[in-house]
Every structure is written in structure tokens, then in C-alpha cells.
Structure 1
């Protein structure tokens, strides 16, 4: 009884897979589908983002003034046709406007505050809102209008 030494097909010590050279489990992540999904989401958000800027529907009066150039997103206070007041997109009572703006002023915000008044809103409500903004310490107030289409 002898023992074979050397050679590739020897039965001793070496391990050999059955069926030739099979590859093991691939543990790599295929990023191509991930990139495809991310690009589709990017396009969707690029299209949808401009539509989500201001959520309070208001019929702005038309003027011949040009659009404002602003580097930062200003605080917007909206007054709709029924006299409801919104700070950005949150409904607030008229007596809360000053307190909320004073809280914002403590954070160091000193940019322009824009007032968006519906063309059917009562002038007195818009004037009251502007007075409350001044009481809060803001002096740079702008009225938002739409540019006339005939120009």
C-alpha cells in the first residue's frame, strides 16, 4: 500500500470543488439601479420645488412694478380675501403677529418682510398687519403684487 505524493489530482490534503471552477457568491452592490432612481427623484424634485414655494392661495393685485431681486428667502405674511392672516404658511391670529415676529427678530433676522394681500381683502386688515410688523421692530416691509401682463 502506497501513498501518492504530489500531483494535482491527489486525494490527500488538497481541497477541490466539484464541477470545476465555480465562482462563489458575489457580495458587491450594483449601484446602477440606485443611480437611476436617484436621478429620477432629482428630476421630480427639480420640477416640483418651484410649485411648493407659497401655499396660501391669494389673488394678488397687478401693478407695473418689476420683480424684486432677493438672495435670501424672505418672511412672508399673507392676508387672504376673508381676512385670515398667515405667517409663511401657518395661520395666525392678528394679535399673535407681533409676538411671533418679535421672536423671529431675536434670532437676528433683519431682512425685508413681504406682505401678500389679496386684492379682495379689506385695506384695513392689511394696514393693521403692516402696523403690527412695525410694532415688532421691522422697518423694511414690502407689498407683493403681480406684474401686469399687458406690458
Structure 2
């Protein structure tokens, strides 16, 4: 803030300096808000994927992930869903496009039979393009 202590003979004149303190305060508050909000925007379903040594493929812009968690519950994207609503939830997420690839990820502790049951349910719902998701394995030395 600018203060003029010498009033002299000139009388009151206009001071043309900008007070930037409120502007800096607002910027710092916005910085703190974004620092807190950014990690919350990347929430994902926690699943312990097994490793695979297959070649890495190009990831689509908006992949559709179906997750079979350790407790055998399902999540479509980041939202939990009941198994009975699988077909309707997939139709809603894909807008009825049964040619869209469904990326299936399952916890490595899930029994193989449960994974096959889920794949059969996908086939019954009309979704035949299924990709299995896994972690990249370290290259094996000969």
C-alpha cells in the first residue's frame, strides 16, 4: 500500500500504484486447492494384476475397464456394480456398441474359474472383443 507522508502545497494527488497483495493471496489459495484436488482426480480401482510378457499394444483414448476384484465383486471403470447388472451397464457405457473392446482386469488371487465365468457372461451379453490386462513382466535372461 502506498502512503504519502509529505502533503506539501500540492494537495491530494492520485497514486497510480497497484496493490498486488490480494492478487498474490488469491493465487496462493488456488495453488493449494489444485495441489489437493489433483491427486483425488486420479482415483483408480485397486487391483493386484499378474505380470505378462506379451507385447505392449496401443491404448485407446477412452478404454472401457471391467475389473474383477479380489472379493469377486465387479467394477466398471471406477464404479462398483452388481454382477446381475453387467449387460445393462456395458450397454449404457458403450451406447450399445458391442464391437467396442472391453479391457478385463482381474486380481491375481481370483480363481481361474471365476475369470472364465465372467468371460462367459461377457460373451452372453454380446461382447466378444475382450482384452486381458496385466503388468509388464521383466525380460527373462536366457
If the length of structure 1 is used for normalisation, what is the TM-score? Answer: 0.65
Q: Does residue 20 of the first structure (1) align with residue 11 of the second (2)?
A: yes
| Offset of residue 148 of structure 1 | 0.9
The 5-angstrom pairing of residues 83-122 of structure 1 reads 83-106=72-95, 108=97, 110-122=99-111
CA contact (8 A) 2:91 2:97 kept: no
> Which of the two has higher C-alpha Rg?
1
CA contact (8 A) 2:106 2:115 kept: yes
Find the aligned partners of 1:110 and 1:146 in 2 and give their Cα distance: 25
Structure 1 stretches lacking a partner, 5+ long? 1-17
CA contact (8 A) 2:94 2:100 kept: no
Judging changes above 3 Å, is the alpha-carbon distance between structure 1 residues 99 and 71 closer, same or farther for their aligned structure 2 residues? closer
Judging changes above 3 Å, is the alpha-carbon distance between structure 1 residues 66 and 37 closer, same or farther for their aligned structure 2 residues? farther
Partner residue, 1:141: 130
CA contact (8 A) 2:51 2:134 kept: yes
Find the aligned partners of 1:61 and 1:106 in 2 and give their Cα distance: 30
Find the aligned partners of 2:26 and 2:98 in 1 and give their Cα distance: 39
CA contact (8 A) 2:103 2:133 kept: yes
Structure 2 stretches lacking a partner, 5+ long? 1-8
Partner residue, 2:24: 33
If the length of structure 2 is used for normalisation, what is the TM-score? Answer: 0.68
Counting matched residue pairs gives: 132
| Offset of residue 146 of structure 1 | 0.6
Partner residue, 2:55: 66
- SS of residue matched to 2:48: coil
| Offset of residue 141 of structure 1 | 0.8
CA contact (8 A) 2:53 2:139 kept: no
| Offset of residue 119 of structure 1 | 0.7
Q: CA RMSD in A?
A: 3.8
